[in-house]
Amino acid sequence: MITYTNEIYLVFFLPLTLLAYEICPKRHRGKVLIAASYVFFYLISKWLFLYLFGVSVFIYLAARLLERARRSGKRYGKIILIFSVLLPVGLLLALKYTNFIGENVTRLGNLLSGGTAVFQPWSILLPIGISFYTLEAVGYLLDVWWGRIPAEKSLEKVLLFLSFFPKLMEGPILRWQDTEATLFSNESLKLENLETGAIRIFWGLLKKIMIADRLAIVVNNLFANYASHQGLVTVLAAVLYTTQLYMEFSGVMDICIGSAKLFGIVLPENFRQPFFAKNASEFWQRWHISLGAWFKNYIFYPMSTSSLVKKWTKTGRKKFGKGLTRAVTSALCLFPVWMANGIWHGAKWSYIFYGLYYFCIILFETVTEPYWKKGMEKLHINMAAPWYRAGQRVKLLCIVFTGEMFFRAENLHVGVHMFRSIFTGSGMAELKGHLLLNVGIDIDDWNVIIAGLIVVVLYDILKELNVFSLEKLRAMKLPVRWSAYYALIFSVIIFGAYGEGYQAIDLIYAGF
């Protein structure tokens, strides 16, 4: 199967698409990108690309009807909006959650009746990337209805917006107004864009095939044998999975953003040094940024301005005071966001728990923040002091590692077992018994992982301090720039995890 990290994509598909794009007349270059995107989809999911095509045509027509209804003030506009939003969302829920719902309804029925019925899962084909372009489609319809953007008159542009191949499998999740300036410009290839895009792709490959794919072997081993691990080994499993997930997801985003940049198309950033955040709320402003922005724009803001919240705010202050009113208001706005976040990730209770876990933490932070600041001021504690900020980051890492452990666990029961096992033993005996050399990789692999992590961590530190970045590297003198380029390219070629005996690791977020 074609993915963003294999030779089919990097050596054949992407260069051939670039060639076809450049030699084609400017007015037809959008068609080239659409054709390439549907070929890409076909190579992954065969004829399931027809689902994306059908949804795209429906969204195009629905947006035109919505704009006409909004301008004329006709009441049936809301009916069109509800139907046009519920159709793609309903299809997503049906395709992705039918078996989950059926299994749990069967369990509940057995519990209430004492029966022993067994649910037989349906065989359902799930189009790749459906969770990503469904959100894009719904966001586009809502923006048209709210008058933020006009309905697009060109079906070609809507097809490209929803299918553009670099973001098809894992995002980032696009908003029309954030990408239309470059997505539909059809500009000729430029040396600057080719250089910047190619280096961004190699940077992503370093994270993915040098670090994440090796860590995946270790993580799979540790989580598969979770019952035999305790203490530090369980903690290590959570830390290594979080590291793997960040290296893979941010690395694939680098490849996607770099691929788009080759064509002069700018995709939104999806990560911004998330582990430098001070709390869980800021972490989610830096991690999977496009998903968080979607929830903020289309769930949080509409909920915060809804009649329910306004009515509660007005009456709550009079009867219960500002503190309780603020807490309930925050809960009303945050709960649907984080419930949707958990459900969006997949049909598992552990994903729902993951969403509610962050709901509780962020709600607690939001409610207690003003009281905490007052307390620190009374105690004359400098919240900007290095020791205080270090403590904040340690606390955040504990929150993130715990959340990702439940996220990765096979199910919620396994997640709870692993969490308990942290406190039932030290795990030192396993570590002293050279456990890490018996989990599928050898000392040379560990050396590559550690070296790669040092490079990425140093880069993130320098970027956070605004001292260095790939963009700033391009402005440096030619010998310095190309020395860094060659070091990056040859590191990927020499130390990448591929070749004889290597099994390609599936993209984690392609399954969501």
Written as one string, the DSSP assignment of 38-72 is HHHHHHHHGGGHHHHHHHHHHHHHHHHHHHHHHHH
Q: What Cα–Cα distance (Å) separates residue 380 from each residue in 130, 373, 458? A: 51, 10, 33
Relative orientation angle of helices 443-464 and 213-224, to the nearest 10 degrees? 110
If you average pLDDT over residues 330-352, what whole number do you get? 93
What gap in Å lies between CA 341 and CA 358, rounded to an integer? 10
- Inter-residue contact 376 to 383 (CB < 8 Å): yes
Q: Which two tokens stand for residue 364?
A: 């607690």
Per-residue exposure over 265-279, b if at least 16 CB sit within 10 Å of its own CB, e if not: bbbbebbeebbbbeb
**Lowest mean pLDDT segment, chosen from 29-43, 318-332, 358-372:** 318-332
Give the pLDDT score at 430: 86
Q: Which two tokens stand for residue 123?
A: 């065989």
Q: Is the pLDDT of residue 161 over 70?
A: yes
pLDDT digits (tens, 9 = 90+) for 79-107: 999 999 999 999 999 999 998 888 888 88
Closest by CA to 276, choosing from 262, 264, 286, is 286
pTM over 0.85: yes
φ, ψ dihedrals at 129, nearest 5°? 75, 10
Q: Is the pLDDT of residue 109 over 90?
A: no
Cβ atoms within 10 Å, residue 16: 12
Give the pLDDT score at 122: 82
Q: Is the pLDDT of residue 509 over 70?
A: no
Q: Is the pLDDT of residue 64 over 70?
A: yes
φ, ψ dihedrals at 287, nearest 5°? -110, 130
Query: What's the chain's average pLDDT?
Result: 91
pLDDT digits (tens, 9 = 90+) for 465-491: 999 999 899 889 999 999 999 999 999
Domain boundaries in the chain? 7-188, 195-496
